[in-house]
Copies of this chain bind each other. A is one copy, B any other.
């Protein structure tokens, strides 16, 4: 009897259902409104069931974080593939990062701890490193000096990240920011950093 597989599939469905329900609640009512009981309600179970799929709430959030990094990684890869010239590639990639932050605002908050209490010990998720690697490689391509020094890549990467993450954070917490200024800062900073990458 192949009911083992069917049950396995059902289990994976409810696991996915839990994550989806959580995300939907957060999107509709914000992170403060997310509770185990509310998730259980949404999937038409009672709260303890969730503990059969995740060790605890933090575990659930870590799984969501992982999904977020995977999504982000795909978006950035896609942006890279949309251009051929290295400088244009890098710009497109950071613009994709920017867009992800606003299209998936709640995910970004979870992943980068903007305006939320987030789970402990989510450092060094392998899914997060993929994005870092994409950016590092793109920066490396723009360095002319040989051998390309690792510390310059790192420095430039963190510089990019700081500006863009800072601008995103400010926009996500403070409201009433100007979209035109955002674009000016974003594009201006990206081009400025690219321009000075070989100094």
Contacts and interface: CB of A to CB of B under 8 A. Distances in A.
A158 interface: yes
What class of interface size applies to chain A in its complex with B?
Answer: 35 or more
A184 B155 contact: yes
Nearest to A168: B166
Contact of A162 (B118, B173, B185): B185
A170 interface: yes
A90 interface: no
Interface string A165-181: 11101101111111001
A7 interface: no
A117 interface: yes
Contact of A163 (B154, B155, B163, B177): B163
21 contacts: A31-B117, A112-B173, A113-B114, A114-B169, A116-B117, A117-B117, A123-B174, A151-B181, A154-B178, A155-B184, A155-B185, A158-B177, A158-B185, A159-B163, A159-B189, A161-B170, A162-B162, A162-B170, A162-B189, A166-B167, A169-B169
